[in-house]
Amino acid sequence: MNLTAAEYGAEKKRPEMGALVAAMILLQILDALCFPVTRYGTQIIEPFTFAFYRFVISSVILLVIVRSRGPYVPIARRDWWRIITLAILIIPGNQMLYMFGQSMTGAGHGAFLFATAPVWIFILAIIHLKEPLLPRRVIGIIVAFGGVLLLMLADGAEISAEYLKGDIIIVIAVLAWSYYTILGKPLVEKYGALRMTAYALAIGSALYFPFGFYRALNFDYSQTTVGAWGAVAFMALGMSVGLYVLWYWVLKYMEALRLAIWHNFYPIIAAAVAYFVLGEPLSIWFVFGGVAVLVGVIITEVK
């Protein structure tokens, strides 16, 4: 049985702000864990083979969940083209370009450049979603992003002509993620976060499948460890299923501008993980950067 859009919308009540904040904090934790887990896994499993298993596992799980739930609003024919656009943006545009770019640049550059995503989302939300440009939000994004720059520069990220090609590719990947966020918001509001994530990832994974299957078929598995497969499982379940669905779920109920500001928290959590788990030192710049991010979020949220 299918629902009409009105019936579907009536069933979906807006969650409490506390639930949205909890979801955003969980998003940042998962995002912060993404880099060390991927780094560990791809040191053992070749990156494109690693991505192949991650995409296949997450797509199958999401499609099974979607198939078992319902009823759903029928998807309009014109919206399928928009979903295909999301699929191209998230897998070839974001994930694949990010891996290509990361292989051509310095170790810390990917995290540094990905931290610019909130700024791009902020700009695109104003252009495409016509979200209001409030002065406090402008101030908040500037203060928060300034804090992110302090965090990243304190971690040793630097600008270098040697890595320029890889950095440009990563910037394109970040733009793809930003457009995936902005263009997906109307579809998520119409059809739900779970379905849009499942369909976008499944279609994107299908596009990647021939190349990924070839890499997986020719990979030498003799040195693969249980830990490496655990990293694949975490990225499939925690990142592609958990983070992506949560991201769209929060986006359904919150303006993209506000979500962009909250996204600045992930470098703080990443640095905290590195400190407590890996024993990496925290500089005074980390403290200043963390405070700046917090102040930026408070400026944005306090009315």
DSSP line for 254-294: S-HHHHHHHGGGHHHHHHHHHHHHH-----HHHHHHHHHHH
| CA gap 185, 253 in Å, rounded | 9
The structure's pTM equals: 0.82
Whether 9 maps to a domain, the answer reads: no
- Report if residue 3 sits inside a domain: no
Residue 248 resides in a domain:
yes
pLDDT of residue 8: 47
| The token pair that represents 201 in the structure block | 């990832």
What is the span of the domain harbouring residue 261?
15-301
Domain membership flag for residue 36: yes
Low-confidence residues in the chain, pLDDT < 70: 1-12, 105-112, 148, 151-163, 264, 266-268, 270-271, 273-283, 285-287, 290, 297, 300-303
Is residue 273 a part of any domain in this protein? yes
Quick one: pLDDT at residue 85? 97
Q: What is the pLDDT of residue 119?
A: 80
What does the pLDDT read at residue 87?
97
State the virtual CA torsion across 15, 253, 289, 152 in degrees, nearest 10: 120
Count of domains forming the chain: 1
pLDDT for res 271? 67
Residue 84 covered by a domain = yes
**pLDDT at res. 137:** 73
Q: Is residue 4 part of a domain?
A: no
122 part of a folded domain = yes
